[in-house]
């Protein structure tokens, strides 16, 4: 028997419960891994709260990202062996294949071997953040050298990943954060400009940074009323990718600015990459290449122990993190 985490009702972090459960036998196309570390994501907080795109089927498993060692294989799983060090790629349903626990059962297509030079903590901090940023900036946005990219809520793990990818492409990076405390860490991470939205005018600062042009690509995790300001800060025929809704407020469409500037405003999730075989393959190769040459390096903010999973979730909800929150299982 090993411990897993499930929840029987939606709500605050303390609905997460530890349970003893025997390790299952993987079915065809599935892999069982011994979990060493977990990478936390906003999607898990939202699932736990009942606010995610996918609704939990109670009692529900939870969790997208884990690193560990393969301990059993189902039929029809080429390319993997027992003992391989792997990390999970979030291309499955959390409610069916949630990875919070001492073991995780996942579809083989949602596993990737990771470089030997990465720790368990780094390995569980790869796929959600880099594939999310890659899909919008590279696959759909076709970000080019010297273009201006605006990244909102840039101190998240996806925000740091977007900064690294934009730097790899040679783009000019404008990062936003609500408070001054995170400004220097974003500059240190590679942002060319940082707008502190609690004290600065977003539109004025972006126009100043871009010489009056505006941002060519906007990668937004906030939505809500902020979208109006982002549209004003956008360049002519800019593309705005909305991949989150941190504001939890209604998001009015900026019709006048969209018409005036010919803007493209679109919702986006990482599943637009993982559900497409060719995009998925290109994304994995891009990320492997970046990990190898050092241009992509996971930024880990804080590591919690397995028994501190509730505290780890509460910390994510505090919005104090700068990078990835990791839970060390063993």
DSSP 49-87: HT-SSSPP-SSB---SEEEEEEEEE-SS-TT--TT-EEE
pLDDT score, position 269? 96
User: Residue 68, class by beta-carbon neighbours within 10 Å (0-12 exposed, 13-18 middle, 19+ buried)?
Assistant: buried
Looking at the fold, whether 309 and 250 belong to one and the same domain comes out as: no
| Domain match, 206 and 244 both | yes
The candidate with the shortest Cα–Cα distance to 209, out of 238, 174, 183, is: 174
| 18: β partners | 5
The pLDDT score that the predictor gives to residue 115 is 85
Orientation angle between helical segments 127-134 and 277-293, nearest 10 degrees: 110
Number of domains the chain contains:
2
Of 77, 67, 62, 79, nearest to 107 by C-alpha is 77
Is there a domain that residue 41 lies in? yes
CATH code of the domain covering residue 163: 3.90.180.10
- Compute the distance between CA of residue 112 and CA of residue 126 in angstroms, rounded to an integer: 10
Q: Which residues contact 184 (CB under 8 A, 6 or more apart)?
A: none
pLDDT at 316: 96
CB atoms within 10 A of CB 119: 15
Q: What pTM was computed for the model?
A: 0.95
User: Quick one: pLDDT at residue 1?
Assistant: 84
Does 191 fall in a domain?
A: yes
Residue 293, in any domain of the structure:
no
> Same domain, yes or no, for 149 and 221?
yes
Domain assignment present for residue 248? The answer is yes
147: containing domain: 128-271
- 154 plus 86 within the same structural domain: no
Low-confidence ranges of the chain (pLDDT < 70): none
């Amino acid at each position: 028997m090993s411990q897993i985490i499930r929840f029987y009702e939606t709500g605050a972090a303390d609905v997460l419960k530890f349970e003893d459960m025997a390790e299952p036998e993987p079915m065809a196309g599935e892999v069982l891994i011994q979990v060493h570390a977990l990478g936390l994501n906003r999607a898990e907080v939202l699932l736990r709260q009942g606010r995610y795109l996918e609704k939990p089927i109670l009692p529900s498993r939870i969790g997208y990202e884990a690193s560990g060692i393969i301990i059993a294989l189902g039929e029809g799983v080429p390319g993997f062996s027992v003992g391989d060090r792997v990390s999970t790629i979030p291309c499955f349903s959390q409610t069916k294949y949630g990875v919070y626990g001492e073991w995780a059962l996942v579809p083989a297509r949602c596993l990737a071997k990771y470089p030997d030079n990465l720790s368990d903590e780094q390995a569980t901090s790869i796929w959600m953040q880099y594939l999310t940023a890659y899909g919008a900036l590279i696959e759909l946005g076709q970000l080019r050298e010297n273009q201006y990219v605006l990244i909102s809520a840039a101190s998240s793990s996806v925000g740091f990943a977007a900064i690294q990818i934009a730097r790899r492409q040679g783009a000019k990076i404008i990062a936003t954060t609500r408070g001054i405390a995170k400004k220097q860490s974003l500059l240190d991470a590679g942002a060319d400009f940082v707008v502190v939205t609690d004290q600065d005018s977003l539109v004025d600062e972006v126009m100043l940074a871009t010489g009056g042009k505006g941002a060519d690509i906007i990668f937004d995790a906030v939505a809500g009323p902020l979208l109006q300001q982002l549209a004003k800060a956008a360049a002519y025929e800019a593309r705005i990718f909305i991949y989150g809704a941190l504001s939890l407020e209604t998001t009015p469409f900026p019709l006048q600015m969209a018409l005036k500037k010919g803007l493209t405003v679109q919702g986006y999730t990482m599943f637009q990459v993982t559900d497409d075989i060719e995009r998925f393959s290109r994304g994995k190769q891009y990320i492997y290449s970046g990990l190898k040459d050092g241009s992509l390096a996971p930024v880990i903010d804080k590591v919690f122990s397995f028994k501190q999973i509730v505290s780890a979730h509460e910390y994510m909800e505090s919005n104090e993190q700068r990078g990835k929150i990791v839970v060390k299982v063993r």
